[in-house]
Amino acid sequence: MKKKLIYLALVIVVLALAIFRIVDHAPSADLPLDERVEVVFEKGGCLMCHSAEPELPAYFALPVVGDVMKKDVDEGYRAFDMEPLWNTLQTGKGSFNPVDVAKIEKVALDKRMPMAKFYLVHWGSRMTNAKRDIILEWATAYRTALYNDGLVGERAGEPIRPIDLSLPYDEAKAALGFKLYHDPRLSVDNTVSCASCHGLNTAGVDNKQYSEGVEGKLGGVNAPTVFNAVYNFVQFWDGRAATLAEQAAGPPVNPVEMASPNFDAIVAKLNKDRKFVREFKAVYPEGINQATITDAIEHFERTLITPNSRFDKYLRGDDTAITAEELQGYELFKKYNCATCHVGKNLGGESYELMGLRKHYFADRGLALTEEDNGRFKQTGVERDRHRFKVPGLRNVALTWPYYHDGTRTSLKEAVCAMGTYQSGVELTDEEEDLIVAFLNTLTGEYKGQLLTNDNSAQ
């Protein structure tokens, strides 16, 4: 009798494993790629943990099991809202966010999702090699179409892309924008210009924790670089400006920065300069106003890109452009999920992310919370947006210290160490930190054909 029970148990296990493998099959190759990906996501139950109002199974109401699942759902949604991507897949309207694609690609590569405790209950949801390959094919096809930058071979699928050699802009408007960018008359007392905090000779920053406005007033966040800002999906840490022109309209009337009472006062001041008015009307017949001032500055800022970094040369096929150690640093950068948020041409600027995803950054910081620490929440009032910030781009990062929105990390190694702890949930070794820093040093590009430098003293 005992042998029969053992035999029966073995049969049941074998049958269960067989059924498990059958239901885990990948979608048919006859389906279009987007549809295959949609099937993988649907079978994987991705939206159960990565959406605001998921459809949850009946056992969610059970004690203990439900508590465990609620924790997983909360953590999943906190890290990644998949609904925008899912809606694009289903409707065919809009475009995917490159950060969303990178996050999905990375968990597929690592086979971290769905978790075992999920797929052992939800048969058919497990990430198999065949499903993983579908996602990797989809991610590469997406990037090839989005960037059209000519990367080939294995590098065609890289989450980081080379910067354009140039962008379209109006030369006459950009020339006016250059003058306005450096004109202190935009400030109430004629002492502060855009370049005061974003100097072109200091890598587009001022290397101060907080910038000084009129009368020495200090701002509440660290000034991000103006170089490559054109690639950001929004401007400012909290995303309150959708375009470069909208961003340019902010500081002149900010009471802490340039403190002009309004743009009418700025226009009146500039209109007293007859030579400048003639020059301005030759480009903008409608004359000087807020819209034309900020449009000119936007055209100028479109010229502030820094292509031809050593890493860009590597991406374009030059294997000698970076060292073996720097390449190791890049592999670690990807291994520890840095390249899921720091993606694209600017290595960032494509999404809002939570500061302290894996560990509470603000509790450990030892400083009182400020209004600026609320990040995107300042603009939306949505609780999920509290402490979320636009991800900073990492181009020329070796020149743009101090780091983070609060400017609390003065060296690149300090910043990398803390990112490992608070964003990736790993304690990097000293060697790993050095290797990642070595990679980040390859991201310094060229401006006007010369390697970008910073006139401020080196760290």
At residue 293 the predicted structure's pLDDT band, cuts being 50, 70 and 90, is: very high
Tokens of 238: 């909290």
Per-residue pLDDT band at 18 (split at 50, 70, 90): very low
Nearest CA to 34 out of 101, 119, 106, 123 is that of 101
Q: Any catalytic annotation for residue 350?
A: no
pLDDT at 114: 67
HEC states along the chain?
Answer: CHHHHHHHHHHHHHHHHHHHHHHCCCCCCCCCHHHHHHHHHHHHCHHHCCCCCCCCCHHHHCCCHHHHHHHHHHHHHHHCCCHHHHHHHHHCCCCCCHHHHHHHHHHHHHCCCCCHHHHCCCCCCCCCHHHHHHHHHHHHHHHHHHHCCCCCHHHHHCCECCCCCCCCCCHHHHHHHHHHHCCHHHCCCCCCCHHHHCCCCECCCCCCCCCECHHHCECCCCCCCCCCHHHCCCECCCCCECCHHHHHCCHHHCCCCCCCCCHHHHHHHHCCCHHHHHHHHHHCCCCCCHHHHHHHHHHHHCCCCCCCCHHHHHHCCCCCCCCHHHHHHHHHHHHCCHHHCCCECCCCCCCEEECCCCCCHHHHHCCCCCHHHHECHHHHCCHHHCCEEECCCCCCHHHCCCECCCCCECCHHHHHHHHHHHHHCCCCCHHHHHHHHHHHHHHCCEECCEECCECCCCC
Count of Cβ atoms closer than 10 Å to residue 64 Cβ: 7
Q: Enumerate the domain spans of the chain.
A: 24-148, 171-301, 310-451
Of 150, 119, 154, the residue nearest 40 (C-alpha)? 119
- Rounded to the nearest integer, the mean pLDDT of the chain is 91
Listed in sequence order, the residues at least 6 apart from 342 whose beta carbon sits closer than 8 Å to its beta carbon are: 160, 333, 348, 391, 393, 394
> So what's the pLDDT on residue 14?
40
Instruction: Name residue 116's beta-bridge partners.
Output: none
pLDDT at residue 204 above 50? yes
- The CA distance from 378 to 295, in Å, is 26
- Residue 381, pLDDT > 80, answer yes
Domain 171-301 CATH superfamily: Cytochrome c-like domain (1.10.760.10)
Average pLDDT over residues 80-99: 93
Burial category of 335 from C-beta neighbours within 10 Å (exposed 0-12, middle 13-18, buried 19 and up)? middle
> Greater confidence, 124 or 9?
124
Q: What is the pLDDT of residue 15?
A: 39
- Six-digit token string for 126: 């497990």
pLDDT 10s digits, 219-231:
999 999 999 999 9
pLDDT at 118 over 90: no
**Pairwise CA distance, residues 79 & 341, whole Å:** 11
pLDDT tens string 121-159 = 566 668 888 999 999 999 999 999 999 999 999 899 999
What's the pLDDT score for residue 11?
40
Structural domain 310-451, CATH architecture: Orthogonal Bundle (1.10)
Of the pLDDT bands very low, low, confident and very high (cuts 50, 70, 90), residue 181 is: very high
**What's residue 458's pLDDT?**
55
Q: Which pLDDT belongs to residue 4? A: 53
158 contacts 315 by C-beta, under 8 angstroms: yes
Q: Which of 158, 257, 301, 353 is catalytic?
A: 257
**What's the CA gap between 109 and 418, in Å, rounded?**
25
Same fold, 171-301 and 310-451: yes
